[in-house]
Amino acid sequence: MKQFDFRLKKVLEYRRLTEEWAKEAYLEARSARLEAEIARMVIEKERYDLFNNTPRTINELLSREQRLELLQARHREQSIVIEVLIEDEARALAEWNARKQDVQALEKLHDKAFSEWMYEVNREEQAFLDEWTNGRRAA
């Protein structure tokens, strides 16, 4: 009895590998976005702390205003970075989903080929048993 051999085995292995790479790229993109959001939260917290701190002198007030303007600019920059990272994450997710679909299609072909192989094996076994049974009756 011959062994099961899927003709597209190497292609399936490669597709699984590319799916894993796409998954890792998505997770890295997501991690980068989350890190950027954490950095923006740190900026927001620093701004909040500055707002709650009342200056005692004019110099402190001016320095606080300059610091607030700087933090506002950094907040805007970080928001732009996050928007870009969200787009990258969406692209990576779409790529990962496409790779998963490729793998699933090949796995369906593998399962179908295996089912057909099992059907042939069962047919051969049944034919052998039928022949063996008929041979015993004749004897």
Question: Which pLDDT score is estimated for 38?
Answer: 98
List of domains in the chain: 9-138 (1.10.287.1700)
Write out the DSSP string of the chain. -PPP--TTHHHHHHHHHHHHHHHHHHHHHHHHHHHHHHHHHHHHHHHHHHHHSPPSSHHHHHHHHHHHHHHHHHHHHHHHHHHHHHHHHHHHHHHHHHHHHHHHHHHHHHHHHHHHHHHHHHHHHHHHHHHHHHHHHH-
For the stretch 90-122, pLDDT in tens is 999 999 999 999 999 999 999 999 999 999 999
Residue 79 tokens read as 């928001």
For range 77-102, the mean pLDDT: 98
- What is the per-residue pLDDT for 139? 57
Q: Look-up: residue for tokens 């069962």?
A: 122
In angstroms, how far is CA 50 from the centroid of its own chain?
A: 40
pLDDT of residue 135: 76
pLDDT band with cut points at 50, 70 and 90 for residue 131: confident
For 18-73, the pLDDT digits (tens) are 999 999 999 999 999 999 999 999 999 999 999 888 889 999 999 999 999 999 99
Q: What is the pTM of this model?
A: 0.78
Q: 112 near 7, Cβ under 8 Å?
A: no
Q: What is the pLDDT of residues 4-18, one digit of tens each?
A: 888 899 999 999 999
